[in-house]
Amino acid sequence: MFKSSLFRKKTIQALTLQSEGMDVDESHRLKRSLGAFNLTSLGVGAIIGAGIFVMTGQAAANYAGPAILISFLFAGICCAFTALCYAELASMLPVSGSAYSYAYASLGEIFAWIMGWLLLLEYGTSAAIVAVGWSGYVVSFLHDFGINIPDYLKTPTVDIIDAGKVTSHFVFGSTFNLPAFLVVLVCCVLLVIGVKESANFNNVIVVVKLAVILLFVIFGFSHIDFHNLHPFIPANQGGDKYGYNGILRAAGVIFFAYQGFEAVSTAAQESKNPKRDVPIGIIGSLVVCTIIYFLVAFVLVGIVPYTTLNVPDPIAVAADAVGLGWLSFVVKIGAIAGLSSVMLVMLYAQTRIFYTMSVDGLLPAMFAKIHTKFRTPYINTILVCVVIAAIAGVTPISILGDLVSLGTLMAFAIICFTVFYMRIKQPDMPRGFNVPLPFITPILGILCCSYLMYGLSEVFVTLKYYFIVGMVIYFAYGRWHSRLADKVVVVLP
């Protein structure tokens, strides 16, 4: 009985009620205001951020060289398999909570909890990382105007990495990253005010960052020197420094750049026509971003030697290096805007996952409490944002980056497995979107994710401790308060 209660599942009927907001009273119901355009924009807003603006240059300089293009391609293919799987699940189960809800309906409660716990890394922790990247660009931008933020009010945005080793000396508590802390609190206010207002704000920012990136590609293109692309795969210098090992390691690092397309699925309950629009949003945003990334990476390693890109603002530095000072300035503005929208979407997604987990009883009820005027989960939003702001205040990017990528890859592999499993268990269930080659695509997704995880294997130990903390919380709280708990006889182990 104990074992069966771990795998208790939500019924499709319950999920459908939940997707219509019928399982909660008016005061807990979310507002449906998002269409296909807003959802695609939400995805692009979540995807293009610190990955391309901060990590690409460092991954090229430290790991892959010009072959960063292969890393982008590999990570992009891996995400494409997963995006197709997400789209199928989102079209079957259009509820808030994304991968967490899919796991609950298919694999059972314990997997749902694990997924929710991994998503906390993917969204919440990512938001902190992006806030730190944002702060770095803001500090650099202000510096251009002669305004210097004192050292004790900023954290190193990106640690200095040499030969794959972090060489900067960062001590927790020695500095407080005030800009990163404050920007998360501003996002908090926007999210509490309401999703519609936030979505409009997001659309404007997405346009700004796309325009800036296109300017970089167009003006940078004529400065490409093909000597910079040779050797395309630099010889391995030991460990992950260049060669094929370096390409794999870089793919794991820049995988962070692709994260975000799945955030679209967390908005299903606030979208007008989720079965149609959520798959469009997921696949559309990934396609747009993959094309953009490839172009940006090509121009970046084409206009300057890759060895010069180990800096916090590689795109701005590269533009400067070829005499495009004005473009460098514009890139900083685009990065600041772009990273803002990523933070907003990541925080939004995190609060909606907690909302759903709370409605299910796996988290305390206050996480599902909706504001009477704004109709948003305000207590949840405030709590999440304050914690994330604090993490952003004291943590540099490199400490959490690999952990986030590893946790996300694990979540992606579970998603692919879920599609495969559902095709066997529920072959006739209506699907608004069908994954092509339904028994091959998910397997390819699992294999790709596993291979990228292998490239990040040194972070497994940290993930193990994170996982243990999650299990303790589930067995101490969630398991006993689950809304499904009264439907089974729970026997103490």
Binding site residues, ligand ALA, CB under 6 A: 47, 49-51, 126, 130, 256-257, 259-260, 342
Question: CB of 211: closest distance to ligand ALA in angstroms?
Answer: 18
Q: In this complex, which beta carbon is closest to ligand ALA, that of residue 207 or of residue 365?
A: 207
The widest CA-to-CA distance across the chain, in whole angstroms, is: 71
Q: In this complex, which beta carbon is closest to ligand ALA, that of residue 18 or of residue 340?
A: 340
Q: In this complex, which beta carbon is closest to ligand ALA, that of residue 51 or of residue 252?
A: 51
Residue with tokens 């800096």: 311
Question: CB of 246: closest distance to ligand ALA in angstroms?
Answer: 20
For 57, the token pair is: 């240059």
Q: Is 29 exposed, middle or buried (0-12, 13-18, 19+ CB in 10 A)?
A: middle
Integer Cα distance of 309 and 300 in angstroms: 9
For 78, the token pair is: 């891996």
Q: In this complex, which beta carbon is closest to ligand ALA, that of residue 81 or of residue 256?
A: 256
Distances (CA, A) of 1 to 8, 15, 484, 491: 10, 24, 14, 6
Distances (CA, A) of 259 to 46, 255, 297, 362, 442: 7, 7, 17, 25, 18
CB count within 10 Å of CB 485 equals: 17
What counts of helices (H) and strands (E) characterise the chain? Answer: 20, 2
CB count within 10 Å of CB 25 equals: 9
Distances (CA, A) of 144 to 130, 177, 246, 290: 21, 19, 34, 31
Integer Cα distance of 182 and 48 in angstroms: 21
Q: In this complex, which beta carbon is closest to ligand ALA, that of residue 18 or of residue 290?
A: 290
Integer Cα distance of 132 and 267 in angstroms: 25
Question: CB of 317: closest distance to ligand ALA in angstroms?
Answer: 18
Question: CB of 347: closest distance to ligand ALA in angstroms?
Answer: 12
Question: CB of 362: closest distance to ligand ALA in angstroms?
Answer: 25
Question: CB of 133: closest distance to ligand ALA in angstroms?
Answer: 7
Question: CB of 324: closest distance to ligand ALA in angstroms?
Answer: 23
Q: In this complex, which beta carbon is closest to ligand ALA, that of residue 130 or of residue 392?
A: 130
Question: CB of 54: closest distance to ligand ALA in angstroms?
Answer: 8
Q: In this complex, which beta carbon is closest to ligand ALA, that of residue 15 or of residue 59?
A: 59
Q: In this complex, which beta carbon is closest to ligand ALA, that of residue 19 or of residue 126?
A: 126
Q: In this complex, which beta carbon is closest to ligand ALA, that of residue 30 or of residue 406?
A: 406
Question: CB of 224: closest distance to ligand ALA in angstroms?
Answer: 24
Q: What is the 3-state secondary structure (H, E, C) of 14-83?
A: HHHHHHCCCCCCHHHCCCCCECHHHHHHHHHHHHCCHHHHHHHHHHHHHHHHHHHHHHHHHHHHHHHHHH
* Burial per residue of 329-362, b for 16 or more beta-carbon CB atoms within 10 angstroms, e otherwise: ebbbebbbbbbbbbbbbbbbbbbbbbbbbbbbbb
- Which residue of this chain has its Cβ atom nearest to ligand ALA in the complex? 49
Question: CB of 258: closest distance to ligand ALA in angstroms?
Answer: 6
Axis-axis angle for helices 274-303, 36-47 (nearest 10): 30
Q: In this complex, which beta carbon is closest to ligand ALA, that of residue 284 or of residue 478?
A: 284
